[in-house]
Structure 1
Amino acid sequence: MTKRKASIAAIFAAAALGGIATVAPAQSSEVQEAIAQGIVGETASGYLGFAQTPSPELRAQVDAINLGRRSAFADLAQQRGTTRQQVAEETACNRLSSVDPGEVYQLRDGVWRTRGAAPIPTPPYC
């Protein structure tokens, strides 16, 4: 196991133990529906993003999820002696691999794509 993959495993092990339950806070049915419709998707930065213009209510919900992720990333980074960005990127590797076919995602180039049957190409830091 590479050092980076070991770090990713540690993030999710900590989350499973309750250490960072806010990395993937519960999503409302509105957010889940927006993901299914391709309005919201995972990004290579570790946060959710908007592939289409959201309603103000949806924007507020996604912003709350992202604030929770940011806080969790900062807490874990402090525990590990690393940066919040490093933790966010490691989390993005895992989150991108969980995008289902038909859902949208964004890599570092800023282009929104819809996942087909093939796996998503992972960013170089994964």
Structure 2
Amino acid sequence: MTAGAAVAEPRDPAYSAARAAGQVGEKMDGYLGVIGGGSPALRALVDDLNIKRRAVYSQKAQAQRATVEEYAFTSGCLLIGQTSPGEKYQAPDGSWQTRGGGAPQRDPRCP
């Protein structure tokens, strides 16, 4: 199973600013996470983006005869791999990490 192109996020200025500030990061399960408390507006934005991701994952998983969870996990692997230095992501141990110049820590099950 391949996730193909990862879900492209609209670069809403609020989302881009939160990502650059380390308030939002990629999670291993293929969804975005809010790091720390986060404002209600930021949480609403992340929730909206995650709903959109789930809709895409559901459609593509069905086409590939995979579960939504399997497709989302593979997408999470790819999205974490696509983070840029300075961006946040969830490590296999569940902790939030800041991507450095090297490869991010990824789950050993990642393709």
Shared fold, TM over 0.5: yes
Question: Which of 85, 100, 104 does residue 116 from structure 1 map onto?
Answer: 100
**Structure 2: gaps spanning 5 or more residues:** none
Return the letter of the residue paired with 2:66. T
Mapping 1:64-83, distance limit 5 Å? 64-83=48-67
The alpha-carbon deviation at position 24 of structure 1 amounts to 2.5
Confirm or deny: 8 A CA contact 2:85 2:101 kept in the other structure.
yes
Determine the structure 2 residue equivalent to 1:88: 72
- Superposition TM-score, scaled by structure 2 size: 0.91
The alpha-carbon deviation at position 123 of structure 1 amounts to 1.1
> Can you list the C-alpha shifts for 1:33-60, whole angstroms capped at 9, x where unaligned?
0110111000111000011211111111
The yes-or-no answer on 1:46 pairing with 2:44 is no
Confirm or deny: 8 A CA contact 2:92 2:105 kept in the other structure.
no
Structure 1 vs Structure 2: percent identity of aligned residues?
37
Aligned residues: 110
The yes-or-no answer on 1:37 pairing with 2:51 is no
The alpha-carbon deviation at position 107 of structure 1 amounts to 2.2
The yes-or-no answer on 1:63 pairing with 2:71 is no
Confirm or deny: 8 A CA contact 1:24 1:65 kept in the other structure.
no
The list of structure 1 runs, each at least 4 consecutive aligned residues, that deviate by more than 3 angstroms after superposition, is: none
RMSD: 1.4
The alpha-carbon deviation at position 27 of structure 1 amounts to 3.1
The alpha-carbon deviation at position 32 of structure 1 amounts to 0.7
Confirm or deny: 8 A CA contact 1:25 1:68 kept in the other structure.
no
